[in-house]
Amino acid sequence: MPRVALVTGSSRGLGAGIARRLAADGLAVAVNSRSGRGDDVAAAIEQAGGTAASFPADVTERESVDRLVAAVADALGPIDVLVLNATGPQPPVLIEEAGWDRHLEMLAFFLRSPVLLGQAVLPGMRKRGGGRIVHLDSEVVDKPPPGMTAYVAAKSAQLGLMRSWARELAPDAITVNTVAPGFIPVERHDDVSDADRAQYVATVPAGRFGTPDDIATAVSFFASEAAGFITGQRLVVDGGRGLT
């Protein structure tokens, strides 16, 4: 039977690209979204010869997470690869306006959701002798833009969580790594002006935007059997922008 991957927040954008790539790698993919709009991604994977199913669930709530993990196991098999991609809206909010509630909203996606999902899948991974957990963080941890304090703080906390998990779970042959994308123009960034896009590209030595496929390739490696001796690592996929 193929290994099974759960990709949270995979009905569109980066998550959809990751789901398609893991399916192409031969994994059975659980496509997840809170809205339940993952059917199209799962259908496209099936049409291309892969194995996938759609599982609507709010991954920031414990009961929903427990039902999700059980449903994936029933339909596809126990989860071998967990990709933590789900995110919410990230409108810029100045420090004076970013109340504690705003910080909690970000922490729910980038700390509470990984904790709930990790706790739900770890018993099965341990029983089967290993597994892969891949976080998605962001270049903002290194290059924080104005108006994004809650988002940056939550992503920074996620990075610490990843490293702590990697240390604790290494004896169980469960690797934990993270991929940090640079700016990837997908549908949620449609409100970015052409001038801002041009200014961003000017800061990237590679001279182009990243694509969902660039991120999916990095996730694919961390999820692979070949990455079994790599854990606690952060791979920044930004075309060299971090060097400028």
Residue 119 burial (CB count, 10 A): 13
User: Catalytic: which of 55, 110, 151, 183?
Assistant: 151
Q: Where are the alpha helices (DSSP H) in 54-131?
A: 62-75, 100-107, 113-128
151 is an active site residue: yes
Q: Report H helices in 174-241.
A: 194-201, 212-223
CA–CA distance, 85 with 186 (Å, rounded to integer): 14
Integer-rounded Cα radius of gyration of the chain: 17
Report residue 198 as tokens.
Answer: 């041009």
Token pair 């789901």 is found at: 19
Report d(CA 53, CA 156) in Å as an integer. Answer: 32
3-state secondary structure of 162: helix
Write out the catalytic residue numbers.
Answer: 151
